[in-house]
Amino acid sequence: MSGLQLSGLLLYLCLLTWSLRTLGLRDFVASKQRQHLVFGTGVTLFVLWLFRAGIFDGLDIHFLWLSAVTLILGVRYAFLTASLSLVGITAAGFESWSMFGVNALLGISVPIGVTYLIYMVSFHRIPRNLFVYIFVCAFFPGAISIALKVALLGGYYFADGIYPWRTISDNYMLLIPLLLFPEALLNGMTMTVLTIYKPQWVYTFHDKFYIDKS
């Protein structure tokens, strides 16, 4: 394990400790709906992350769907759920254990943090309506998240000397424009369907803020 990988793991463990300490496990145990959402979302993430494409080890791409997960579960439960899915993917041999901290930090923490930051800014600074919630809080964060994940992970592979920049640029960074719209659409469509048919499942959505203006 390299120094960067160890640093990533330690930083991720700090974030995980904070998340678990502020999670509210009593409320989780008492709420069957919350349990079903967390475990169901975790299984969905695991299956979604199985489908990936790439030529070089580590330089593969897959949908994240973490912007939708963050809006559905909230930042702490999203972090825990995505972490469990990453453990499953790594145990299944699709990722390396030595890369666990880096993958968790750049592939989970950054997308979730960016999504929640955009959600909070939009909630307090932009007029609230359903259009804003779907596009500003789900659609655009989905595109931004996958772009940041690919860019930061590509930068890591270069900084740690794993691949030369030409290989990273031609086989990984080059794919960013192709990933933006599909990832954004996946997150946007998810939140559109849920806010219409199952708004009670979405932790960050409230009718009185986004629909009921009376």
Q: Is residue 208 part of a domain?
A: no
Using the predicted structure, report yes or no on whether residue 51 has a pLDDT greater than 80. yes
* DSSP states of 78-146: HHHHHHHHHHHHHHTTSS-GGGHHHHHIIIIIHHHHHHHHHHHHHHHHS---HHHHHIIIIIHHHHHHH
User: Number of H helices and number of E strands within the chain?
Assistant: 12, 2
Q: What is the pTM of this model?
A: 0.94
Chain-centroid distance of CA 22 in Å reads 19
Summarize pLDDT for 147-174 with one digit per residue, the tens: 999 999 999 999 999 999 999 999 999 9
Q: Is residue 33 part of a domain?
A: yes
Q: Is residue 53 part of a domain?
A: yes
Cβ neighbourhood burial of 212 (10 Å; 0-12, 13-18, 19+): exposed
Q: Is residue 146 part of a domain?
A: yes
Q: Find the domain containing 106 and state its range.
A: 3-200
Summarize pLDDT for 110-134 with one digit per residue, the tens: 999 999 999 999 999 998 889 999 9
- What's the chain's average pLDDT? 92
Q: Is residue 209 part of a domain?
A: no
First to last CA, the chain: 58
**What is the percent of the chain where pLDDT is above 90?**
79
Helix (H) or strand (E) holding 27: helix 25-30
Summarize pLDDT for 75-103 with one digit per residue, the tens: 999 999 999 999 999 999 999 999 999 99
- 171 phi and psi angles, rounded to 5 deg: -115, 0
- Measured CA to CA, the distance from residue 200 to residue 155 in angstroms comes to 39
Report angle CA 126, 37, 131 to the nearest 5 degrees: 25
Domain tally for the chain?
1
- Measured CA to CA, the distance from residue 27 to residue 76 in angstroms comes to 13
Q: pLDDT tier at 22 (50, 70, 90 boundaries)?
A: confident
Q: pLDDT tier at 213 (50, 70, 90 boundaries)?
A: low
**What is the percent of the chain where pLDDT is above 70?**
99
- Measured CA to CA, the distance from residue 179 to residue 142 in angstroms comes to 10
CATH number of the domain bearing residue 46? 1.10.1760.20
Nearest CA among 99, 108, 100 for reference residue 45? 108
Mean pLDDT of 182-197: 96
